[in-house]
Amino acid sequence: MSRSHSAPSLVAPLIACLSLACAANAVRAEPIANVVADVHALAQKEQQPLLDTLHDLVSIESGSKDVEGLNQIAERVAGQLRQLGGTVEILQPSDIYRLDDTPEKIGPAVHAVFNGTGSKKIMLIAHMDTVYLKGMLKDQPFRIDGDKAYGLGIADDKQGVALILHSVALLQKLNFKDYGTLTVLTNGDEEISSPGWRSTITKFASDQDAVFSFEGGGTDGTLRLATSGIGSAYLTVTGKSSHAGARPEGGVNALYELSHQVLQMKDLSKPELGLKLNWTVSKAGTNRNVIPAEATAQADARALKVSDFDELEKALQDKIKNRLLPESRVALKFEVRRPPLEANDASRRIAAYGKTIYGEIGLPLKVDEKATGGGTDAAFAALKTRGAVVEGMGLSGFGAHSNDAEYVKLDSIVPRLYLTTRMIMDLSTGKLN
């Protein structure tokens, strides 16, 4: 993307700066029509700076297991937050919830706090990591093609990081500080189920009045108030090996026991409640003529309520007590990779108000209370807070995890900047309770 500019005159920028300064000082006293015009005009001016930031972020490879790249992007994000006046720290993980596929080292998180003059606490979250491998960037750099910007991780979730940075910048240009605290948290492990930062997200979010999560808004900008939870179950059966032809009776067939266990657990799903358990991976044996001494299986679990996972794990543990082969040993491990995000009344009120804000600039806004798609860090934010948690605040786009097709829509930048800024302003000043 070219960043060359023609030499400007001295008069036009001076007039523009004076106009913006006047608008910033008067914005809170202005009628709503003027506020809409002022914020929208500033959002339009912020589009190109946001694209410049997005270019920089996409140009840093930051796969979930690329700690070097994650450190680099964390420094880039932290630097911009410091320039905006935040109290900023780059955190290293200390409380890691180790999952089956958690790497030895987890990337950092960037934490920033902006102190205001009001009382409301508002938190903005996004993630810096991607699913892509180091070295892929050279073949697929950031590019703009028509009404879309393409790049690895651009939709999931580097647009979210850029949108947060420039929403904060827009508030600064409006000289708006009526919030109590504005907290920013960007983590580097979302794509691997946030083992290093889940507890931090929950802790920081626990006393917030509102948490806005900047995953993409899909192709139509829908806000989401609920997402499915994701769990995994792991069965391990230990038997005893023996010659399958000469002395099968001397063994304990782990495959038989595994089959028994999987079959007796096949009916634990409750589709009408959104609870699903499906066994998807299994392994047993080493040779055709050896009774298998070990067998394993893995299941995918989905739930719409946090309590459903607790009940499912209890049911699984009860089931393994019933064994086909008493001499076998059966162990079960259950992981909550992500809890479900459940809609609450506070989230519904804020999302409904978002429709009003979008209407001010002549746009419709969809809100979905039905859990769809994969998990989200917003669910960790919602675990201990009574405040609102709204997901999908990011740009419209498509192709997450698709290395040749991931993009964001350029025409969603100004509306999303406007929405985020107005949400923060009106929540802070009590217009939205």
pLDDT digits (tens, 9 = 90+) for 353-394: 999 999 999 999 999 999 865 789 999 999 999 999 999 999
> Is there a domain that residue 52 lies in?
yes
**Model confidence at 343: pLDDT above 70:** yes
3 vs 255, more confident: 255
The gap from C-alpha 197 to its chain's centroid, in whole angstroms, comes to 11
Catalytic residue among 190, 342, 406, 426: 190
At residue 102, the 3 state secondary structure works out as coil
The percent of residues above 70 in pLDDT, for the chain, comes to 92
Q: Is the pTM of this model over 0.75?
A: yes
Instruction: Indicate the residue among 310, 337, 364 that finishes a domain.
Output: 337
Task: Tell me the residue range of the domain where 409 lies.
Answer: 11-227+341-428
Q: Is 342 a catalytic residue?
A: no
The answer to the question of residue 3 being in a domain is no
pLDDT bracket for residue 1 (50, 70, 90): very low
Are 207 and 386 spatial neighbours (Cβ–Cβ below 8 Å)? no
Which candidate in 38, 46, 129, 406 is catalytic?
129
Do 166 and 216 have their domain in common? yes
The answer on 380 and 233 residing in a single domain is: no
pLDDT in the model for residue 265: 96
Do 179 and 79 lie in one domain? The reply is yes
Phi, psi of 180 (to 5 degrees): -80, -60
Return the structure tokens found at 284: 């047993």
Tokens of 181: 């605290």
What's the chain's average pLDDT? 92
With beta carbons less than 8 A apart as the criterion, state whether 183 and 121 touch.
Answer: yes
User: Are residue 352 and residue 288 in the same domain, yes or no?
Assistant: no
CB 398 within 8 A of CB 219: yes
- Of the residues 337, 354, 384, which one is the last residue of a structural domain? 337
Is 208 inside a domain boundary? yes
Mark whether 118 and 180 lie in a shared domain: yes
Please state, in angstroms and rounded to a whole number, the distance separating the CA atoms of residues 261 and 276.
17
**pLDDT in the model for residue 21:** 46
Q: What is the mean pLDDT of residues 88-101?
A: 96
Element (DSSP H or E) covering residue 36: helix 32-58
pLDDT of residue 401: 78
Residue 157 has pLDDT above 70, yes or no: yes
Mark whether 110 and 221 lie in a shared domain.
yes
Task: Kindly tell me if the per-residue pLDDT of 20 is higher than 90.
Answer: no
Residue-level pLDDT at 375: 83
Q: Nearest-CA neighbor of 42 among 429, 431, 425?
A: 425
Q: Please identify, among 313, 337, 361, the residue that sits at the C-terminal boundary of a domain.
A: 337
Note whether 333 and 350 are same-domain residues.
no
Residue 2 lies in a domain: no
Active-site annotation holds for 220: no
